[in-house]
Chain A
Amino acid sequence: MVESVVFWVLAVVAVASGVAVFRVDSMARATYALAVSFVAVGLALLLVDLHYIGVITVLMMVMEMAVMAVYMVMFMGMNPALMPMSMVHDNRAAVAAAVSTFVVLAGGALLVPWPSRRQPDPGTVVGTVEALGEAIMGSKMLVMLTMSPAMVATIVAGVVLAGARGRYDRLGDDLDRRPDDPQRGGVGR
């Protein structure tokens, strides 16, 4: 009973702050609202014994929202908390798409005859960090081995995309120009 009440409170907070992301009139408030939504979902995960995933969700998303706030200050060149904004396009089509998606998904969730909760095997502790660690290092190691190169590729691609001056900027289209580096370095050309 208490669990249900806590879940519904967290659910209302998560959805309401999710809606607030696109309703508040400054990007800083939108960032805070999104962080609140993630924290509510992270706490809901704790209710279903996903201790590690829940804590990770809260910690990671709070940090991510902090980075997002920094980006907003960088790109918008003003205090985002003080500058009202409403920058939407095709609002009516977006609302129609969102409502129809919700109707389809929620309809499916309510109409499908889901089985009752399957109890885990006796003696199995399902939600602990230890169980997750054993899964990652055991039967599901291939999943993590696949994610690792994807993360490294993201780091490389992110630096290449966001870098201010690549080698074509320094050395020209044919890589034969003398670079005007403020300090010598690089590969010695």
Chain B
Amino acid sequence: MTLEAVLVVAAALFSVGLYGAISQQVVVMVMMGLELMLNGVILAAAGFWWFLSPEPTGQVLLLVVIAAMTLEMAMGFAVATLLHRSRGSDMTDMATDLSR
């Protein structure tokens, strides 16, 4: 196990998640893509920590990434609930006006 191997696997996870976040129409599936991207970030951060700076305090960065993931999910679910309640849909194509 080398740092290069860990980073390549993390890059693969991030790229697959990016594909999902761009291509999916259902809000929950878009969130799955974002989760997968953060999954890659966690793995890469763990690799950097282990190989480059194995200090106890380095783990805190990983906790922050996991916390950010939780916040993203909570807000995503709340927006999805609001969208479904107001428009009866959970598709991103029905909510393009939110980007204006």
**Which A residues have a C-beta under 8 Å from some C-beta of B?**
3-4, 7-8, 11, 14-15, 18-19, 21-22, 27, 30-31, 34, 37-38, 41, 44-45, 47-50, 52-53, 56-57, 60-61, 64, 67-68, 71-72, 74-76, 85, 87-91, 93-95, 97-99, 101-102, 105-106, 108-110, 114-115, 117-120, 124-128, 131-132, 134-136, 139-140, 143-144, 147, 150-151, 154-155, 157-159, 161-162, 164
Contacts and interface: CB of A to CB of B under 8 A. Distances in A.
A140 B56 CA distance: 11
Interface string B1-39: 101111111111111111110111110110111011001
Interface string B72-89: 011101111110110000
A15 B59 contact: no
Given A34-B32, A93-B22, A140-B60, A154 B66 contact: no
A119 B55 CA distance: 10
Given A71-B28, A127-B59, A164-B85, A49 B15 contact: no
Binding site of B, secondary structure by majority: helix, strand, loop or mixed?
helix
* Interface size classification for chain B: 35 or more
Interface of B: 1, 3-20, 22-26, 28-29, 31-33, 35-36, 39, 42-43, 46-47, 49-60, 62-64, 66-67, 70-71, 73-75, 77-82, 84-85, 90-91, 93
A97 B19 CA distance: 7
Given A87-B91, A109-B7, A50 B49 contact: yes
B13 A75 contact: no
22 contacts: A14-B43, A18-B13, A22-B24, A34-B35, A34-B36, A38-B39, A41-B13, A41-B43, A53-B66, A56-B66, A57-B66, A64-B70, A95-B23, A102-B15, A105-B10, A105-B15, A108-B7, A117-B54, A118-B54, A126-B56, A127-B59, A136-B63
Contacts, number: 233
Contacts of B64: 143, 147
Given A7-B5, A50-B50, A68-B28, 4 more contacts: A49-B50, A108-B7, A110-B4, A158-B74
Given A14-B13, A102-B15, A154-B75, A114 B51 contact: yes
Contacts of A18: 12-13, 16-17, 36, 39
A7 B47 CA distance: 12
Nearest to B61: A143
Given A72-B28, A139-B57, A147 B67 contact: yes
